[in-house]
């Protein structure tokens, strides 16, 4: 795979947003800036549609807005930390770690396998703790790359 | 403990895999082995059938319909929303372990499929399945099994849903005879009973007004009519749930349509059985091709039911309905041509016909011939026809009592009701047995009924009543000999049934030991 799923430009360690919509928009803009999303509003609509089905927050302070969308060019992860927390509908409170997962519509299973591996890492406390503690964006990228791709 | 799980979510890129990882970790921590099938965007890698067979329990952590869930039928099952698996994997594993230890209760029964949606999530499926009357609804449809076994499992699923209709409808009719006298039926539908001619109070069970029924036959008449309404659903339910067993929910529409067409065209339960299999096969074929995602959403709701119902309905009406109509008139003419032949031979033939399809076209021809004979003053033929129609349910009931092990729990339940149905000349009481295993049951029942018919004719038993069974014993000439003819047929049929079923049972037990390590569960167990 030529394009990494995450780069330092896709990490925001001090996200400030008062709603999940705002948080998602901030992260999605990072994707748009990198040319990984061709239509910001179109992509956000797809994410919102998914979020509407059921909030993507899970226990442990995690929000995982995500969508398969025709406006996505590469399978991508954008990551944000929010000290104040953003409500993603989880029962136990706001999310401090937010993962925006973007998958191209009709992406091949090879792409999806990488995102699947990423999703699997998310449930590991060690992975979350490492990301919570990461001092800078590049460290986040390194952790994800190492854990998900085994590189 | 060995567990299997399926995870799925609407998008199939995040929660599906998180849930899988979460329960895998939890299972590992608790010392269990688990195989998880992620039905997500990366493509599902189906759990091998032998792994499912060996599993002690199944977990569905799913917010969307689990694909091919019938593979897991008969296994103890826990259903949860996908998020619950992510948030609390250990609890879910603990529930699965508990379900595995609770014999019989929490399984993905055929009956629980419809209820086993995410709406019912968060509790063991046993809660969803608890509404089912009998543990026998645990009809295991094993994909890996040979075609013969699967065919029987499909039929048994249909039968298990049909039995309550047979029991409820049949017992209602019997009660109406007890309360209002057997002429209740004639009072409702019109005709002649023991010299009295009654006008019809209703045109049919599809549309009736209550007042004329109550006026003509009172509440007993109404009970009779309601029993008939329940019976009307017998073939559609059989066909619908055979198709359901084959093709999951999408099979229901074409299956019911096929059953209704079978009823409307007089094709009886054998027609419904064929229709159900046809409907299931058509839906299975329609589900196969991959369709564009945009289109996929309307496939199960609109396209597949529409196409399959149309195709099944047309085939049933044309390829089954027409030949049935032609055969019916041919048989009727043939029977009338036989008048005057040897009485015992005629009784033999009529008896066999009564037991062939129990309410289907062949049975109707024989019964109508009996009615026509009664109208023209020959009361012996009517007696033989009625006796031969009483034999099948009674023989089945007897067989289930003599050798319980040869029958599924559902069949044993049907057997309990069959006593009353048989005594009331409600031949349909044997349909659950015949539909589940037609090749063994129908010949057995025909043998006994043929003997009963021949004996009844030979003894010269007469009946002045067109129906009613034991409740018209006062209108039977030579009731003692009537009982002898009945008993002979019942014993012959029950003996044939037990012999044929034991042979199959022995063969099956032998092959099972050699193929697997004894983990497979007999049908309906």
ipTM of the complex: 0.90
Give the relative orientation of helices B15-29 and A109-122 as an angle to the nearest 10 degrees: 50
Whether pLDDT at A132 is above 70: yes
pLDDT (tens digit per residue) in B273-296: 999 999 999 999 998 887 777 777
Residues B452, B465: Cα–Cα separation, whole Å: 18
Q: Per the CB < 8 Å rule, is A59 touching B86?
A: yes
Check CB contact of B42 with chain A, cutoff 8 Å.
yes
Average pLDDT of chain A, as a whole number: 87
Chain A residues inside the 8 Å CB shell of B40: 112, 116
Q: What is the pTM of this model?
A: 0.58
Q: Per the CB < 8 Å rule, is B87 touching A59?
A: yes
**Averaged pLDDT for residues B355-365:** 91
**Averaged pLDDT for residues B455-469:** 92
Chain A residues inside the 8 Å CB shell of B14: 56, 64, 66, 101, 115, 119, 122
Which of helix, strand or coil describes residue B438? helix
Average pLDDT of chain B, as a whole number: 84
**Averaged pLDDT for residues B115-120:** 35
Residues B207, B500: Cα–Cα separation, whole Å: 43
pLDDT (tens digit per residue) in A98-121: 999 998 887 666 677 878 888 888
Best residue in B8, B24, B27, B42 for a mutation probing chain A (most A CBs within 10 Å): B42
pLDDT (tens digit per residue) in B17-35: 899 999 999 999 988 999 9
Q: How far does B51 lie from chain A, in Å, by closest CA?
A: 23
Of the listed ranges A130-139, B110-119, B507-516, the least confidently predicted one is B110-119
N- to C-terminal Cα separation, chain A: 12
Q: How far does A57 lie from chain B, in Å, by closest CA?
A: 9
**Averaged pLDDT for residues A16-39:** 91
Check CB contact of B16 with chain A, cutoff 8 Å.
yes
Catalytic option among B3, B5, B6, B9: B9
Of the listed ranges B313-317, B348-352, B504-508, the least confidently predicted one is B504-508
Confidence of residue B117 (pLDDT cuts 50, 70, 90): very low
For the domain B2-132, what is the CATH code? 3.40.50.2300
Chain B stretch 262-321, residues whose beta carbon is closer than 8 A to a beta carbon of chain A: 293
More confident residue, A66 or B194: A66
Check CB contact of B15 with chain A, cutoff 8 Å.
yes
For the domain A8-149, what is the CATH code? 3.40.930.10
Q: What is the pLDDT of residue B101?
A: 74
Q: Is the dihedral of CA B496, B498, B499, B503 positive or negative?
A: positive
Q: How far does A106 lie from chain B, in Å, by closest CA?
A: 9
Q: Per the CB < 8 Å rule, is B41 touching A124?
A: no
> 3-state DSSP: chain B helix, strand, coil percent, rounded to 5?
70, 5, 25
User: In percent, how much of chain B has pLDDT > 90?
Assistant: 43
Chain A residues inside the 8 Å CB shell of B295: none
Residue B260 contacts residue B251 (beta carbons within 8 Å): no
Check CB contact of A70 with chain B, cutoff 8 Å.
no
Give the relative orientation of helices A125-133 and A109-122 as an angle to the nearest 10 degrees: 80
Return the bridge partners of B196, or none.
B193
Beta-carbon pairs below 8 A across chains A and B = 83
Check CB contact of B65 with chain A, cutoff 8 Å.
no
Q: How far does B11 lie from chain A, in Å, by closest CA?
A: 7
Best residue in A46, A99, A103, A116 for a mutation probing chain B (most B CBs within 10 Å): A116
**Averaged pLDDT for residues A121-128:** 88
Residues B450, B456: Cα–Cα separation, whole Å: 10
Phi, psi of B391 (to 5 degrees): -60, -45
Q: How far does A117 lie from chain B, in Å, by closest CA?
A: 7
DSSP A109: H
Please report, to the nearest 10 degrees, the dihedral formed by the alpha carbons of residues B14, B17, B19, B21 taken in order: -140
Chain A residues inside the 8 Å CB shell of B21: 119-124
pLDDT (tens digit per residue) in B64-78: 878 888 788 878 888
Cα B266 to chain centroid distance, Å, stands at: 18
Phi, psi of B119 (to 5 degrees): -60, -30
Nearest CA in chain B to A115: B13
Q: Per the CB < 8 Å rule, is B17 touching A119?
A: yes
Spans of all domains in chain A: 8-149
Chain A stretch 90-149, residues whose beta carbon is closer than 8 A to a beta carbon of chain B: 91, 101, 103, 105-107, 109, 112-113, 115-117, 119-124
pLDDT (tens digit per residue) in B203-258: 888 888 889 899 999 999 999 999 999 999 999 999 999 999 898 888 999 999 99
Confidence of residue B136 (pLDDT cuts 50, 70, 90): very low
Best residue in B5, B12, B18, B62 for a mutation probing chain A (most A CBs within 10 Å): B18
pLDDT (tens digit per residue) in B477-487: 999 999 999 99
Chain A residues inside the 8 Å CB shell of B15: 56, 64, 119
Exposure string of B397-423, with b = 16+ CB inside 10 Å and e = fewer, is bbbbeeeeebbbbbbbbbbebbbbbbb
Nearest CA in chain A to B87: A59
Q: What is the pLDDT of residue B363?
A: 93
Q: What is the pLDDT of residue B109?
A: 45
Residues B66, B117: Cα–Cα separation, whole Å: 9
Whether pLDDT at B80 is above 70: yes
Residues B414, B62: Cα–Cα separation, whole Å: 36
Catalytic option among A66, A96, A111, A124: A66
Nearest CB neighbour to B13, from listed A58, A91, A103: A103
Beta pairing, strands B57-62 & B2-8: parallel
Nearest CB neighbour to B42, from listed A59, A109, A124: A109
Catalytic residue flag (residue A111): no
A105: left (phi over 0), alpha (psi -120 to 50) or beta: beta
Phi, psi of B476 (to 5 degrees): -95, 135
pLDDT (tens digit per residue) in A78-99: 999 999 989 988 888 899 999 9
Nearest CA in chain B to A110: B42
Q: How far does A54 lie from chain B, in Å, by closest CA?
A: 9
Q: How far does B38 lie from chain A, in Å, by closest CA?
A: 9
Residues B52, B110: Cα–Cα separation, whole Å: 17
């Amino acid at each position: 795979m030529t394009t990494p799923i995450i780069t330092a430009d896709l990490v925001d360690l001090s996200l400030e947003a008062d709603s999940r919509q705002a948080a998602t928009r901030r992260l999605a803009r990072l994707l748009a800036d990198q040319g990984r999303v061709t239509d910001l509003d179109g992509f956000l609509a797809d994410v919102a549609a998914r979020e509407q089905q059921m909030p993507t927050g899970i226990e442990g302070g995690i929000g995982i807005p995500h969508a398969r969308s025709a406006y996505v060019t590469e399978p991508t992860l954008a990551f944000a930390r929010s000290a104040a927390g953003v409500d993603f509908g989880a029962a136990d409170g706001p999310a401090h770690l937010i993962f925006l997962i973007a998958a191209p519509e009709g992406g091949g299973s090879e792409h999806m396998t990488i995102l699947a591996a990423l999703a699997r890492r998310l449930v590991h406390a060690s992975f979350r703790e490492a990301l919570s503690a990461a001092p800078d964006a590049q460290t986040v990228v390194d952790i994800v790359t190492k854990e998900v791709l085994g590189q | 403990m060995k567990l299997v799980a399926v995870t799925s979510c609407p998008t199939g890129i995040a929660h599906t895999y998180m849930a899988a990882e979460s329960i895998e970790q939890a299972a590992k921590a608790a010392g269990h082995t688990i195989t998880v099938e992620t039905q997500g965007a990366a493509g599902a890698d189906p759990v091998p059938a032998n792994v499912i067979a060996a599993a002690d329990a199944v977990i569905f952590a799913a917010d969307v319909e689990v694909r091919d869930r019938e593979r897991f039928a008969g296994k103890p099952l826990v259903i949860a929303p996908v998020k619950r698996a992510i948030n609390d994997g250990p609890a879910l594993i603990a529930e699965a372990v508990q379900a595995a230890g609770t014999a019989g209760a929490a399984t993905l029964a055929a009956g629980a499929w419809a209820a086993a949606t995410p709406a019912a999530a968060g509790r063991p499926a046993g809660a969803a399945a608890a509404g089912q009357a009998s543990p026998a609804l645990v009809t295991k449809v094993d994909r890996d099994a040979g075609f013969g076994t699967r065919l029987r499992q499909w039929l048994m699923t249909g039968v298990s849903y049909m039995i309550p209709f047979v029991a409820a409808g049949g017992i209602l009719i019997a009660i109406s005879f007890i309360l209002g006298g057997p002429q209740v039926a004639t009072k409702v539908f019109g005709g002649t009973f023991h010299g009295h001619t009654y006008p019809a109070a209703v045109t049919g069970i599809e549309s009736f007004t209550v007042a004329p029924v109550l006026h003509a036959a009172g509440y007993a008449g109404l009970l009779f009519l309601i029993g008939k309404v329940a019976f009307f659903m017998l073939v559609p339910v059989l066909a619908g749930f055979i198709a359901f067993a084959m093709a999951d929910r999408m099979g229901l529409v074409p299956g019911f349509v096929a059953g209704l067409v079978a009823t409307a065209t007089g094709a009886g339960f054998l027609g419904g059985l064929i229709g159900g299999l046809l409907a299931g096969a058509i839906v299975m074929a329609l589900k196969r091709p991959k369709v564009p995602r945009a289109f996929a959403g309307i496939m199960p709701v609109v396209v597949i039911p529409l196409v399959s119902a149309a195709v099944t309905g047309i085939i049933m009406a044309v390829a089954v309905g027409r030949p049935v109509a032609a055969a019916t008139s041919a048989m009727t003419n043939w029977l009338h041509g036989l008048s005057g032949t040897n009485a015992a031979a005629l009784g033999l033939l009529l008896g066999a016909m009564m037991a062939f399809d129990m309410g289907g076209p062949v049975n109707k021809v024989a019964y109508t011939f009996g009615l026509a004979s009664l109208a023209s003053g020959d009361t012996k033929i009517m007696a033989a026809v009625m006796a031969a129609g009483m034999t099948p349910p009674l023989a089945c009931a007897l067989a289930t009592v003599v050798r319980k092990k040869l029958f599924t729990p559902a069949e044993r339940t049907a057997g309990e009701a069959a006593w009353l149905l048989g005594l009331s000349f409600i031949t349909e009481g044997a349909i659950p047995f015949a539909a589940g295993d037609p090749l063994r049951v129908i010949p057995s029942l025909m043998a006994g009924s043929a003997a009963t018919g021949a004996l009844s004719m030979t003894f010269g038993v007469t009946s002045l009543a067109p129906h009613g069974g034991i409740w018209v014993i006062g209108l039977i000439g030579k009731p003692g000999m009537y009982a002898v003819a009945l008993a002979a047929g019942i014993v012959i049929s029950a003996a044939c049934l037990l012999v044929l079923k034991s042979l199959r049972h022995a063969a099956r037990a032998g092959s099972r030991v050699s193929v697997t390590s004894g983990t497979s569960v007999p049908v309906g167990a």
